[in-house]
Amino acid sequence: MQRESVKQGKSARNGIVWLAVLIAAPATLLAAWRFGNRKYYLSSLLLIVYAMLPFFIRFEHRKPQARELVTIAVMSAVAVASRAAFIMVPFFKPITGIIMITGMALGPEAGFLTGAVSGFVSNFIFGQGPWTPWQMFAFGVAGFLAGVLAKKGWLSAEKRLPAGIFGGLCVLLLIGPILDTCSLFTMSTEITAASAASIYLAGLPVNAVHAFATFLTVFFLGKPIEEKLDRIKVKYGMMDGDEDEI
């Protein structure tokens, strides 16, 4: 009976994760754009709540371990620091690489939460605005996707070159365009095919630099960081019972 309850809890948590990433978060972004003004603070808070829900559900089925959230908080701080450290280098953002490494090591839930929190906190340095929820979502998706692929055994920081290439391509083809979409929705003129094309084309050089930074971060730091996180997981029994694939 208890085993069945735990299994149902995992299924519910997985469903909520996918619901948050694929439906709730995009719907919140569109609502924030539709209502405008300074609703981005509310939408940012909602994204963090979405990212926290899977942890709350898991804690209903076993004793909470504060060290799990502390580890995620530490990785979020590292991600924020990596972005701030290169503040003088335009568009060079190791933050996405750190978030993806966290997702690969700790799972998709932790990856999404780290991305959302890092995007929100780092903008207290870089400036809050209507772009904040979009950055939170984009960074969260990067960590979530890396975590899902790692959980399925398709991605590992041990294989540095494939992991680095994946990180770069993910930013260039997915994360960057998500951020460009924010620029498209927040522009003052009417959205047309021509204006959309100009936004996405102008974003290519920016996304290329961002992708290169992500490639370098995952390639050089992915393996050592993942090894340290794995030792923490083994030592403290973190994320126990979370081996089921999403």
pLDDT in tens, 25-64: 777 777 776 666 556 777 777 888 777 777 666 655 555 5
Percent of the chain residues past pLDDT 70, beyond the cut: 78
Q: Per-residue pLDDT averaged across 151-161, rounded?
A: 93
* 189 — pLDDT class (breaks 50, 70, 90): low
For the ranges 11-15, 51-55, 75-79, 126-130, the maximum mean pLDDT occurs at: 75-79
- Residues 36, 41, 46, 52, CA torsion sign: positive
The most distant pair of C-alpha atoms in the chain lies apart, rounded to whole Å, by 59
Tokens 């936004």 belong to which residue?
Answer: 199
Average pLDDT over residues 140-145: 93
Predicted confidence (pLDDT) at residue 10 exceeds the cutoff of 70: no
Give the pLDDT of residue 2. 45
Dig out the tokens for 89 from the structure: 């280098």
Query: Which of 11-15, 53-57, 183-187, 239-243 has the lowest average pLDDT?
Result: 239-243
Please, which residues have CB within 8 angstroms of residue 1's CB and are 6 or more apart in sequence?
none
Residue 110: pLDDT above 50? yes
Closest CA to 108 of 47, 164, 182, 55: 55
Q: Is the pLDDT of residue 22 over 80?
A: no
Instruction: Determine the straight-line distance between the first and last CA of the chain, rounded to whole angstroms.
Output: 22
Cβ–Cβ under 8 Å, residues 136 and 41 = no
- Token couple for 78: 């590292």
Please check the confidence at residue 149 and state whether its pLDDT lies above 80.
yes
Q: At what angle do helices 108-126 and 40-59 cross, to 10 degrees?
A: 150
Query: How many residues in the chain?
Result: 246
Residue pair 81/54 in contact by the 8 Å Cβ criterion: no
What is the chain's mean pLDDT, rounded?
Answer: 83
- What's the mean pLDDT in 227-240? 80
3-state SS track over 8-36: HHHHHHHHHHHHHHHHHHHHHHHHHHHHC
pLDDT in the model for residue 119: 94
